[in-house]
Amino acid sequence: MRWFEAIKKGIQRTDFYLCSVGMCLLIPMMLLTAADVIGRAAWAQPIPGAVEVSSYMLACFVLLGVAYTHQVKGHVRISMLVARLPQWAGLILDVITTLLSLFIISILAWQGWIVGIEERAVSDMLRIPQLPFRLLVSAAGLFLSLELLIDLSASIGRLLRR
Q: CB-side exposure of 15: number of CA atoms within 13 Å?
A: 24
Give the integer Cα–Cα distance in Å for 121 and 119.
6
Note the pLDDT tens digit of each residue in 42-58.
999 999 999 999 999 99
CB 30 within 8 A of CB 54: no
pTM of the shown model: 0.91
Does residue 76 surpass a pLDDT of 80? yes
Note the pLDDT tens digit of each residue in 117-149.
998 999 999 999 999 999 999 999 999 999 999
Task: Write down the pLDDT at residue 102.
Answer: 97
Q: What residue segments make up the domains of the chain, in order of their start?
A: 2-161
CB 155 within 8 A of CB 82: no
Rounded to the nearest integer, the mean pLDDT of the chain is: 94
